[in-house]
Chain A
């Protein structure tokens, strides 16, 4: 896994880089948010291990920026030197931090956190994959939305694309459904239209 380390302390960065390599991961390193941002925003790393206290942009603010930018989910681990207080944990949770590691980072803790990160990222990938498949009823053509409600495809499309749909009748349905009904009722039918050539066979 590509793991981005963000720390202004070159010694802490070097130790983490070596530990990550020893665990079989691929470390990337940045001394601050300015260096880290292009890597994260281009999808260069899906796991970030960032120090909390850094000059200019601290770890919490960087995490907020990552979350605000959307895109693929990034698993964010925050490095701390102090014992975590409930206030700090709440603040970090609100910023979107996934987990903590205390300095100095032990290989055991790092391994455990990265296993969780890998699992979460795998679940996230599966969820994204499932979200990209739209279940549609084979009979009535209603579609199931992400809240598990079945709704008419017109409503579904209209809500998501903000497109106003107007009802009409295509030439195929006119010929096969509407005209026979009109004929049965004795109403003059629309002239027959040639079958569409772009019809799916």
Chain B
């Protein structure tokens, strides 16, 4: 990913990290809302999308946590979703820290 050229001349990585760090907190907040409302379908899609973004930036642990979260929501197991979402957010914070360091 570091070697791929970006759309604005330099490397693609800092461009993607900027999008990821900017968008993810809003999407995580939306995920929490969806959990409260128990909106299964949208929750699953959003968890899936966040996992996909993470793995494209090397966040395999966040992806694994995201897939578990997605599966728990699919089953309608909202008790488990709550714990798994907290775990997902922990992985997000770790990945965000690594990515910030990477592009600084």
Contact = CB atoms under 8 A, between A and B. Distances in A.
B55 interface: yes
Contacts of B44: 53
Contact of B5 (A18, A51, A53, A54): A18
A12 B15 contact: no
B51 A81 contact: yes
B72 interface: no
Chain A interface residue number, banded: 20 to 34
B16 A11 contact: yes
A92 to B, nearest CB: 17
Contacts of B37: none
Contacts of B67: 81-82
B56 A54 contact: no
Interface in A8-24: 8-12, 14-15, 18-19, 21-22
Interface residues of B, number: 24
A103 B7 contact: no
Given A9-B53, A82-B67, A53 B15 contact: no
Contacts of A135: none
Nearest to A51: B52
B60 to A, nearest CB: 9
Contact of B55 (A7, A19, A21, A104): A104
Instruction: Report the 10 A-B pairs with minimum CB-CB distance, sorted nearest first.
Output: A18-B4, A11-B53, A9-B52, A9-B49, A53-B48, A15-B56, A104-B55, A104-B56, A18-B12, A11-B56
Interface of B: 1, 4-7, 12, 15-16, 19-20, 23, 42, 44-45, 48-49, 51-53, 55-57, 63, 67
